[in-house]
Structure formats: C-alpha cells, structure tokens
Amino acid sequence: MSNFHTLPEIVRAMAAKAAQPASAAPVKPLARGEFMGAAIVRSEAGDGGLHRQPDHEELLVVLDGEGDFRVADEVRHIRPGDFVFVPRNAIHGIVATQHGPIALLAIIAPKFDLAKDVVWEKGAELPRFEMV
C-alpha cells in the first residue's frame, strides 16, 4: 500500500467502477497501520449498511455526495467537508442519500478486521473490497 493518496481521484475511480455491473467495490483500503486503519467507503441509502464496532472508534470525513447519516439515536444531514465522530459501539450508517452515493474517508482505531470486529444490523451485508 502506498503512503500517499489523492482522494478525489480515488472517489472518481470508485464511481466509474460502480457504473459497471457487479464490479462495484464500496470499500477501498488506504492504510493499515499497527494501531489504526483508513479506507474510502462509498455507500448508498438502503444498502443495509447500519452497523457498529464494539471495540473501535471511527472518524468520518464526507468527500462526496450528501444525505442523512445516523450515529446512535441522532440523524444529521451530511455534505462534503463534514466531520463525523462515531463512538465505540454506536449503531451508525447512511440513512438516506440525495442525488447518488456518498463517499467517506473512514479512519478507525484501533486497527480492526471488518469480518470479525464489525456487528452488522439485521439484513446488512458485508461490503466488498477493492484492494489497493
């Protein structure tokens, strides 16, 4: 993995791939350090993405798109440039989007394994990955 990334280019590439049938990868890992990880997450409302991380905190920065995002019992409208803090074990995810998907820079600490450390709400699917 590279130590340098151009986020707008990655978001554009993810959007282009999403236009191709069955090839969209909504999570693109950017960094996997000893104590934290970072990825770009591309999501649409209704994709079953509500989840929680029982042992991890998450910082999100909205890169593209806008819509409503839930953290615990609070729902707020988010748009590019917004910063969202997700406390440990809080149910969170995109509730509704406007005019297409939302792309978020996600930074999670401590480092986690998406398959083991994330609890998906009923009906939610494990995201597919696009490896760097």
- 3-class secondary structure for the chain? CCCCCCHHHHHHHHHHHHCCCCCCCCEEEEEECCCCEEEEEEECCCCCCCEECCCCEEEEEEEEEEEEEEECCEEEEECCCCEEEECCCCCEEEEEEEEEEEEEEEEEECCCCHHHHCEECCCCCCCCECCC
Cβ count near 51 (within 10 Å): 18
Domain that holds residue 100: 28-114
- Residue 87 CA neighbour count, 13 Å, CB half: 5
pLDDT confidence bin for 97, thresholds 50/70/90: confident
pTM (two decimals): 0.80
| Total number of domains in the chain | 1
CATH number where 59 lies: 2.60.120.10
pLDDT of residue 6 exceeding 50, the answer is yes
What pLDDT, on a 0 to 100 scale, did the predictor assign at position 123? 58
What pLDDT, on a 0 to 100 scale, did the predictor assign at position 131? 40
pLDDT confidence bin for 130, thresholds 50/70/90: very low
61 part of a folded domain:
yes
CB 127 within 8 A of CB 101: no
19 part of a folded domain:
no
Closest-CA residue to 60 (of 10, 104, 109): 104
